[in-house]
Amino acid sequence: MTQSFHPPVRTLMGPGPSDVNPRILEAMSRPTIGHLDPMFVQMMDEMKGLLRYAFQTDYDLAMPVSAPGSAGMETCFVNLVEPGDKVIVCQNGVFGGRMKENVERCGATPVMVEDEWGRAVDVHKVEDALKANPDAKILAFVHAETSTGAMSDAKALAELARRHDCLTIVDTVTSLGGCELKVGEWGLDAVYSGTQKCLSCVPGLSPVTFSERALEVVKNRRHKVQSWFLDLNLVLGYWGSGGKRAYHHTAPVNTLYALHEALVLLQEEGIENAWTRHRKHHEALKAGFEAMGLNFVVPEGERLPQLNAVTIPEGVEDAAVRTRLLTEYNLEIGAGLGALAGKVWRVGLMGFACNRTNVLTCLGAMDAVLSDMGAKIDAGRAVEAAMACYRGQD
Ligand SMILES: *Cc1c(COP(=O)(O)O)cnc(C)c1O
């Protein structure tokens, strides 16, 4: 007979999922109730308020799509983009490429603004593209590019878009909860995120928020949204405010308890404190990597604190190192994606996983494994460098 599945306890320091706070797992195991139960509906209303806090916005539409981050991405594109539209898409890593794919599948034309993998989106190039394409309807970009660890200037990009009468679609899957993100103040229009990165919740939901401006566009479409499941005009019959809650699909009840708890945790900590915490532990991890002689992919000033991509030292076998970290230390770090596959490691410091113990454990483990495999690193220094950094912060 097949036995129950009992996963090992790992430390998750890759590109997501990140370590889940036990309070969230406990919340998830509470009794399942109906998704139209008055108590559940009350929880949904609280959730919308908590999401507005996390996104730092007062937009009326703030809700979780019942599927992972990729479904949030698709929700933004299929609802805003119509056949024949022109969309400026910034690509500086894997996820910009998926945006392009989304635009094409909506029957629209993507205008690509490409930047080197590992760099932020170049605001000047975007301005040129907006000038050259006055008929563009939307500017789409990734705030925190998880494939490289680069952070782009969402505020400046949104300002530019507004000046050129464009809406923005912004990927905040990795930025939400991990670094400064002010959806309302920056005037972002259609924003999607994920639960398993810096919110440290279980995977499977995608918080989204839409500005009034963006919602107007959705309501005045010429064509029906091609996806029935993601059509906001229908989904809002369940999640929207004011109306009666109508059945659209069965909400993932217990996963929503988990997100509610994750957002309560964020509120308890205070969002600015969460941003500061990510910055602080990133500084210590950086001190350790630099002492070890590992180089960051992204130039200083464009780096995400929550996703640290470092170049794999020459002669070291990527997969062998990651396997040893997993089997000997129960530690997961991320491999390179796309153009960076085999060239970099991506070390996440996301949400609950972003703490001193993990920073020191990861540096100690990588130092030991790399030394043992004969890699050319400055061995035995990383942990002390991180501790010195922490001493300086106190
Ligand atoms: C993880 C991620 C996604 C996709 O989220 P899933 O939950 O894996 O579907 C999209 N964009 C970025 C920037 C991500 O890091």
DSSP notation for 294-327: PPBSSPTTSB-TTEEEEEPPTT--HHHHHHHHHH
Range of the domain at 220: 21-268
Q: Do residues 303 and 381 share a domain?
A: yes
Final residue of a structural domain among 240, 268, 296:
268
pLDDT at 245: 85
Find tokens 């029935």 and name the residue: 228
Final residue of a structural domain among 235, 268, 301:
268
SS3 171: strand
15 within some domain = no
CA distance 355 to 251: 33
Q: Do residues 375 and 261 share a domain?
A: no
Q: Do residues 118 and 139 share a domain?
A: yes
Q: Do residues 41 and 108 share a domain?
A: yes
Crossing angle of the two packed helices 356-372 and 318-329, in degrees rounded to 10? 120
Q: Do residues 254 and 290 share a domain?
A: no
Please state the separation of Cα 174 from the chain's center in Å. Answer: 2
Q: How many domains does one find in the chain?
A: 2
Model confidence pTM above 0.95: yes
- Specify whether the CB–CB gap between 297 and 143 falls below 8 A: no
How many A from CA of 77 to the centre of ligand 1?
15
- Which CATH number is 280's domain given? 3.90.1150.10
Q: Residues enclosing ligand 1, CB less than 6 A?
A: 16, 68-70, 73, 95, 142, 146, 171, 173-174, 194, 203
Find tokens 């460098």 and name the residue: 385
Express each pLDDT in 205-247 by its tens digit: 999 999 999 999 999 999 999 999 999 999 999 998 766 788 9
Q: Do residues 122 and 224 share a domain?
A: yes
Q: Which helix (H) or strand (E) holds 356?
A: helix 356-372
2 within some domain = no
Q: Do residues 276 and 259 share a domain?
A: no
289 within some domain = yes
pLDDT at 331: 98
What tokens does 152 get? Answer: 């782009």
- Specify whether the CB–CB gap between 138 and 129 falls below 8 A: no
What tokens does 311 get? Answer: 């170049």
Q: Do residues 234 and 250 share a domain?
A: yes
CA distance 14 to 36: 36
Q: Do residues 341 and 254 share a domain?
A: no
Q: Do residues 169 and 244 share a domain?
A: yes
326 within some domain = yes
| Residue to substitute in 102, 174, 346 for testing ligand 1 pocket (most ligand atoms within 8 angstroms of CB) | 174
CA 155, 160, 166, 169 dihedral sign is: negative
Q: Which atom of ligand 1 is nearest to the CA of 70?
A: 9
321 within some domain = yes
Residues of the chain with pLDDT under 50: none
Q: Do residues 172 and 240 share a domain?
A: yes
Q: Which residues have a Cβ under 8 Å from the Cβ of 275 and sit 6 or more positions away?
A: 178, 179, 180
4 within some domain = no
How large is the C-alpha radius of gyration of the chain?
Answer: 21
Q: Strands 331-335, 11-13: parallel, antiparallel or unpaired by DSSP?
A: parallel
Report the 10 Å Cβ neighbour count for 240: 17
26 within some domain = yes
The string of DSSP codes covering 252-277 is -HHHHHHHHHHHHHHHHH-HHHHHHH
279 within some domain = yes
- Which CATH number is 122's domain given? 3.40.640.10
Final residue of a structural domain among 243, 268, 293:
268
CA distance 285 to 358: 9
Q: Do residues 259 and 313 share a domain?
A: no
- Specify whether the CB–CB gap between 169 and 138 falls below 8 A: yes
Nearest CA to ligand 1 atom 6: 69
